[in-house]
Structure 1
């Protein structure tokens, strides 16, 4: 009785490791890509949270329930009249990082969660919808928003 692995077993394991590395290595190829994807995922969560809060309000143009996107911050209003506490969960603040957000814009939401402007004109109505992009150097990750209010990670 010989101990060890057959050639077919070794080739199978090497092949599986090769396939896994092709998909895993580019995604984890450094802190830069990780930072951008982490910021995008946090932004996606915040966008959905602000949208849900806005859907519970009567006035879609209420600035306290809008999603504000700036170069280093994404989330609910920082207006002191909105009575928010300092430790909020509806904001992604990237001012201490290299990650930047574009384009700068503001989304309001109607009672169905659809994106509208401050005068309640529907937004993101073209075929590609709206896109919010997080970038750092050469890495980028985006959030897309369609006309019906569905936020999702996109390229």
Structure 2
């Protein structure tokens, strides 16, 4: 009669080979790839989103506190929020001649990053917010440029809406 022979075919990988391969790929992904890829683009997106959040937060404070004036001062290595007492009966011309209430800690930029005005490339500027959330910067559209290895833009519309471009 017919004889059947059992032939073992070895195809595929063993569990040990798979685990070892996954570990090697994981180690490469964690330690080697970050050194090969530039980190600057991540820094630029982080700084842009942080500054947009700060502008929006100051606008909300200005909308909710009509007796206060809020100023964001930007310099080449960071930015700072200052709060002033504002006379509501007079027209808003900025925080000029207002009484200082509070100065927050300066938020510093890391890794040579900076923010500049799109109109004149100035890295030192101040902007005040009125009780309608508008700024004295008189800017509409692309207002700020964030530079941290990569260049990103921040827009501020005439009525105060701040967003990424």
TM-score interval for Structure 1 and Structure 2 normalised by the shorter chain: 0.5 to 0.7
Q: What is the aligned partner in structure 2 of residue 49 from structure 1?
A: 57
Higher strand share: 2
Matched, 1:93 2:108: yes
The Cα of 1:105 is off from its aligned counterpart by 2.2
The CA distance in 2 between the partners of 1:92 and 1:83, in whole Å, is: 15
* Deviation readout 1:50-100 (Å, 9 max, x if unpaired): 11112223357x3xx112222222341299x433565xxxx6421x42111
**Equivalent of 1:76 in 61, 81, 96:** 81
Structure 2 gaps, min length 5: 1-36, 85-99, 118-123
For the aligned residue pairs, the C-alpha RMSD in angstroms reads 2.6
Which 10-residue stretch deviates more, 32-41 or 70-79?
Answer: 70-79
Q: Is the 8 A contact 2:142 2:153 kept in 1?
A: no
**Equivalent of 2:160 in 128, 149, 153:** 149
Q: Which has the larger radius of gyration?
A: 2
Q: 1:30 to 1:38 in 2, by over 3 A?
A: same
Structure 1 gaps, min length 5: 1-28, 118-122
Q: Is the 8 A contact 2:81 2:104 kept in 1?
A: no
Residue aligned with 2:126, SS: strand
Q: Is the 8 A contact 2:77 2:114 kept in 1?
A: yes
